[in-house]
Amino acid sequence: MFKALVLEKNPDFTAHVREVDEDFLPEGDVTVAIRHSTLNYKDGLAITNRSPVVRSWPMVAGIDGAGTVTESRHPAWKVGDRVVLNGFGVGETHKGCLAQRARLKGEWLVRLPEAFDTRQAMAIGTAGYTAMLCVLALERHGLKPGAGEVLVTGATGGVGSVAVALLSKLGHQVTAATGKASEGDYLQALGASRIIDRAELSSPGKPLQKERWAAVVDSVGSHTLANACAQTRYGGAVAACGLAQGADLPATVMPFILRGVSLLGIDSVMAPLALRQQAWERLARDLRPETIQAIGALEVPLSGVIDAARRLMDGQVRGRIVVSTEG
């Protein structure tokens, strides 16, 4: 028997930590002893039932996990290997990693870089891995240090925090947009050179605005993304990876056809293995241990995840929430 955060709907929704057995696990060719997981925005939506994230019931929550292989029928993995899992519908259609044990598909797993322990990996989690995917996409587009200001929206969130740290470490001038004025010191410690109020971007704006940003990392969507595109400089790029404000995009084609702005869609869930490996290798190179600790300073036991999910959805959390499966 082992502990798992189980979501059920029969017919009313419930979320609780309880003991389950091996028969409760789904099909898969690799079993992992999960040492640490984390709480992402998508996990928060599922655990609080604020959005129809879960599509198979009952479900074990948790789209991220890091731990050690205990059983394997997959040729790439053997007992004792350290692995990290992000996405692939885990926690949505396949029982996830907010549990002491998970059964997964070997092709979903990435070898955990030697630079990280499982706690550090989950302080990064899908949010940090997504931020790295955004940075890689902007670099493929041609972004280089010295090109101009790079805007990061939702800057105190998981994606935003890691994006600020990564871009600053790589030599970019970072402007952080946040609705939490009290978090200025935190963002400056991560490397933000300037902080603006998210209200500057969150209301309807003109189709074309003053050119400000060489590039943008946006995890917010809606009017924020539309305004970011409208303010991006000629030939710049916007990496879009989230919808914290909304899934709509109330924009025009003007920035794209008059300024050559590129809108780069970032998908972390089904990204191919080679790109995942590249992202984790770069995270191991470009994130300092002290930065990871600052971003993932909050740790909760498995028993505290439901309360933490409510606080996350109410906007009361900065950075990342690491979950220890021991409690």
Q: Render pLDDT for 70-129 as a digit per residue (tens, 0 to 9).
A: 999 999 999 999 999 999 999 999 999 999 999 999 999 999 999 999 999 999 999 999
CA 80 to chain centre: 26
The verdict on 149 and 256 lying in the same domain is: yes
84 and 30 Cβ atoms separated by less than 8 Å: no
Residues 162 and 260 in one domain: yes
Can you give the pTM of this predicted structure?
Answer: 0.94
Mean pLDDT score, 6-14: 95
Residue with the bigger pLDDT between 166 and 40: it is 166
Can you give the pLDDT at residue 150? 98
d(CA 119, CA 252): 43
Domain membership of residue 282 (yes or no) is no
Q: What would the mean pLDDT of 151-171 be, rounded to a whole number?
A: 96
Look at residue 271 and tell me if it is in a domain: no
Tell whether 244 is covered by a domain: yes
Instruction: Identify whether 117 is part of a domain.
Output: no
Co-location of 37 and 95 in the same domain: yes
Q: Are residues 261 and 187 in the same domain?
A: yes
Q: Tell me, what CATH number does 188's domain have? A: 3.40.50.720
Please give the pLDDT value at position 47: 97
CATH code, 28:
3.90.180.10
Say whether both 22 and 90 belong to one domain.
yes
Asked if 222 and 305 sit in the same domain, the reply is no
Segment 229-236 shows an average pLDDT of: 98
131 and 69 within one domain: no
Clarify whether residues 260 and 132 are in a common domain: yes
pLDDT (mean) for 8-19: 95
Q: Quote the CA–CA distance of 11 and 82 in Å, as a whole number.
A: 38
- Domain termination site, one of 241, 265, 289: 265
pLDDT at 306: 97
Predicted local distance difference test score (pLDDT) of residue 6:
98
pLDDT of 327 > 70? The answer is no
Does residue 79 share a domain with residue 41? yes
The whole-number average pLDDT for the span 26-49 is 96
Mean pLDDT, range 23-30, rounded to an integer: 96
Domain span at residue 209 reads 127-265
In the chain, how long is the greatest CA-to-CA distance?
61
Do 137 and 177 belong together in one domain?
Answer: yes
Q: How many degrees, rounded to 5, is the angle at CA 275 between CA 299 and CA 213?
A: 80
Residue 309 and residue 219 in one domain? no
The answer to whether the CB of 149 falls within 8 A of the CB of 175 is: yes
Task: Evaluate whether residue 291 is within a structural domain.
Answer: no
- Please give the pLDDT value at position 100: 98
Does residue 285 form part of some domain? no
pLDDT of residue 253: 98
The span from the CA of 253 to the CA of 222, in Å, is 15
In-domain check, residue 42: yes
**Domain-embedded: residue 284:** no
Q: How many domains does the chain have?
A: 2
Q: For 53-82, what is the mean pLDDT?
A: 97
Residues 164 and 94 in one domain: no
Mean pLDDT of the chain: 96
3-state secondary structure string, the chain?
Answer: CEEEEEEEECCCEEEEEEEECHHHCCCCCEEEEEEEEEECHHHHHHHHCCCCCCCCCCEECCCEEEEEEEEECCCCCCCCCEEEEECCCECCCECCCCECEEEECHHHCEECCCCCCHHHHHHHHHHHHHHHHHHHHHHHHCCCCCCCEEEECCCCCHHHHHHHHHHHHCCCEEEEEECCHHHHHHHHHHCCCEEEEHHHCCCCCCCCCCCCEEEEEECCEHHHHHHHHHHEEEEEEEEECCCCCECCCCCCCHHHHHCCCEEEECCCCCCCHHHHHHHHHHHHHHCCHHHHHHHCCEEEEHHHHHHHHHHHHCCCCCCCEEEECCC
pLDDT for residue 290 is more than 90: yes
